[in-house]
Structure 1
Amino acid sequence: MKLRKVTAASAAVLALAVAATACGSNDKKDEGSSGSGGQVKVGIKFDQPGLGLKQPDGSFSGFDVDVATYVAKQLGYKPDQIEWVETKSADRENALARGDVKFIVATYSITDERKQKVDFAGPYLLAHQDLLIKSDSDISNGTDLNGKKLCSVTGSTSAQNVQKSIAPKANLREYGGYSECIAGLQSGAVDAVTTDDSILAGFASQDKYKGQFKLAGLKLSNENYGIGVKKGDTATMDKINSALEKMVSDGSWDAAVKKNFGPADYKNEPAPKIGDIVK
């Protein structure tokens, strides 16, 4: 009987030790520390050259990708620990609420309406609505668009904004995607394409378009790009803000801008200060 009690006690101790080890292993994995084997899911766009683009070989490139990779590293994740998740504009808030991703870096403009549903770190880039035109175009300002063909994507308000504010007689053309608009600009089917200047610069920076287009530089709106996190996750938001400040201070932010937008001669704004929203 005595031997049986000792054996039972030893088994209990062993079970507790195994359980503690298992718990420690899981905690370490969730931290995403170097070599832990943990993963972090990050939302990006898959179809925006210069910002978030999935390449034919399965790799990813763009300014948003570079920002997200830098931020993830500061949070303790190596590049091979990042799982990229496509987050289309209409599903960004839901993706965060469901926990599909830890954070989103996807030309995500900070607005009062969105701040009711998610929290934002940043901003990390100040973009503006602009026009992309051919390098030899005679369009020098918005009023020159009167009577000419202006392209944007179906459902976007960008073209309507131009028509309402500066060129009421512009002929609107709506295509299914910006790549179609850019192809139309190249062929002469349209005279200008409008959306955020960062998006336009990304398309214009593609090898097949280098030197063919230029930005008009009209700055028709202010788009403060932020990094979305789940509502209430202030700990992650604060860590991301610290990472963004470091990215600016060590020169990595400037390098990412030149790398991804430089070929389009993109006149970017200086890196914004955390919490500085330009209306």
Structure 2
Amino acid sequence: MKKLVTLFMVTVLASMAAKTVLAADTLADVKKKGVLVAGVKDSLPPFGYVDEKTRTIVGYDIDFINAIAKKLGVRVELKPVTSASRMPQLQESHIDIIAATMTKNPERAKQVDFSHTYFFTGQKFITKKGTVKSLKDLEGKKIGTAKGSTSEQNVKKALPTATVLSFDDYPQALLALEQGKVFAVTTDEAILAGILAKAPNKARFEIPRVQISDEPYGLGMRKGDKHFVDFVNKTILDMEKSGEAARIFNKWFGPTTQFHLQRNFKITAGK
């Protein structure tokens, strides 16, 4: 019996060690295969969406992935993910990194390792103009958001009397708002600005000054993938120092864009 227990423990430890080695090999593997596979959004401007002219996925998140790949000397392969599918895709090794508007929080940090914060925003709402002045106006209402998002969790805490309807993506939630099926749509302000800018009847809607959370975005990597995490963190810190990170922000959120926001953050170590 003791031999069986010992053999079992050795097998478990060997398995754990193998997983640790695999997790730590992403940087070397990416260099070896010559391609960085990134999970990104493909219908969420300006973070990740299909450009109508080029039919390629472009956006703020994609520019960061391109910069990391350039530093690695490899090409990029983009794989569309949803809020619900992005972590399973990473854990099952279908992608090497997540760049998909993913908020850093303690629960997710148990499953993936995050980079330093490369974007910062806050959770708000899209509503019909003039209908919401305070959080109280949203109590007891139907509110749309995306499955598997922190927005889904945050709104349930902030508005326990509301009915939260979860959709596969935010454009679907906005359609429900246009059709009167929900009273409001909630997620991060930067995402709301992106989907509202693309709405055909955007003049009917607004983003009231009602915020329920802070949302720091991180690039997600496999747990224990230290070499890769360190490389990504150094790269984005260098991008901040050189001004490249600010240039990417201005490209997508600057005053001449339809998604205009103020850059109220800097990429710093430990955040």
TM-score band, normalised by the shorter chain? Answer: 0.7 to 0.9
Paired with 1:119 and 1:267, the residues of 2 have a C-alpha distance of 28
Contact residue 159 and residue 172 of structure 1 kept, 8 A: yes
2:125 is aligned, of 115, 128, 131, to 131
Contact preservation (8 Å) 1:75, 1:239: no
SS in 1 for 2:34: coil
Structure 2 residue identity aligned to 1:40: L
Structure 2 match to 1:243: 235
For 1:222 and 1:55, locate their aligned partners in 2 and report how far apart those are by CA, in whole Å.
Answer: 29
TM-score, structure 2 as length reference: 0.73
- Deviation (angstroms), 1:160: 6.8
1:66 equivalent to 2:59? Answer: no
Q: What is residue 225 of structure 1 aligned with on the other side?
A: 217
Residues 204 and 263 of structure 1 are in contact (CA less than 8 Å); yes or no, is this contact kept in structure 2? Answer: no
Determine the C-alpha separation between the residues in 2 that align with 1:95 and 1:248: 28
Q: Distance in 2 between matches of 1:43 and 1:154?
A: 17
Deviation at 1:210, TM superposition (A): 6.0
Cα offset for 1:149?
4.9
Alpha-carbon separation, structure 1, partners of 2:252 and 2:231: 25
Report SS of the residue matched to 1:273: coil
Does 1:203 pair with 2:200? no
User: Aligned partner of 1:31: which letter?
Assistant: K
Q: For 1:162 and 1:250, how far apart are their aligned partners in 2?
A: 37
Unaligned runs of 5+ in 2: 1-27
Pick from 257, 266, 269: which aligns with 2:261?
Answer: 266
Aligned counterpart for 2:95 among listed residues 81, 101, 107: 101
Matching residue of 2:35? 39
Deviation sequence 1:106-164 (CA, Å, 0-9, x none): 11222223222322111111222111234x43422222334655332456674674465
CA contact (8 A) 1:40 1:102 kept: yes
- Deviation of the 1:105 alpha carbon: 0.8
Deviates more, 1:123-132 or 1:263-272: 263-272
Counterpart residue number, 2:19:
none
- Alignment partners' CA distance in 2, 1:185 and 1:75: 43
| 1:207-247 C-alpha deviation (Å, 9 max, x unpaired) | 74666544324331122211112222211111111111122
What's the CA shift string for 1:52-72, capped at 9, x where partnerless? 223455301121111211222
Paired AA for residue 103 in structure 1: I
Find the counterpart in structure 2 of residue 151 from structure 1: 144
Q: Is 1:180 aligned with 2:172?
A: yes
8 A contact 2:240–2:267 mirrored in 1: no
Structure 1 pair 120/47, CA: closer, same or farther in 2 (3 Å)?
Answer: same
**Secondary structure of the residue that 1:85 maps to in structure 2?**
strand
Q: For residues 50 and 225 of structure 1, what CA distance do their matches in structure 2 show?
A: 14
Instruction: Give, in angstroms, the shift of residue 91 of structure 1.
Output: 3.4
Pair 159,112 (structure 1): closer, same or farther in 2 beyond 3 Å: closer
Q: List aligned pairs for 1:80-99, cutoff 5 A.
A: 81-99=75-93
Give the % identical residues. 30
In 2: Cα distance, 1:70 partner to 1:211 partner: 36
| Counterparts of 2:79 and 2:205, CA distance in 1 | 31
Could you tell me which runs of 5 or more consecutive residues in structure 1 were left unpaired when the two chains were aligned. 1-27
Code of the residue aligned with 1:58 in structure 2: it is R
The verdict on how the C-alpha distance between 1:190 and 1:260 changes in structure 2, with shifts beyond 3 A counting, is: farther
Paired residues, number: 240
> Structure 1 CA distance, aligned partners of 2:77 and 2:260?
31
Take 2:86 and 2:166, find their aligned partners in 1: how far apart are those partners?
23
2:121–2:215 contact (8 Å) kept in structure 1: yes
Q: Which deviates further from its counterpart, 223-232 or 83-92?
A: 83-92
Q: 1:52 matched to which residue of 2?
A: 48
Alignment partner, residue 114 of structure 2: 120
CA distance in 1, matches of 2:149, 2:31: 39
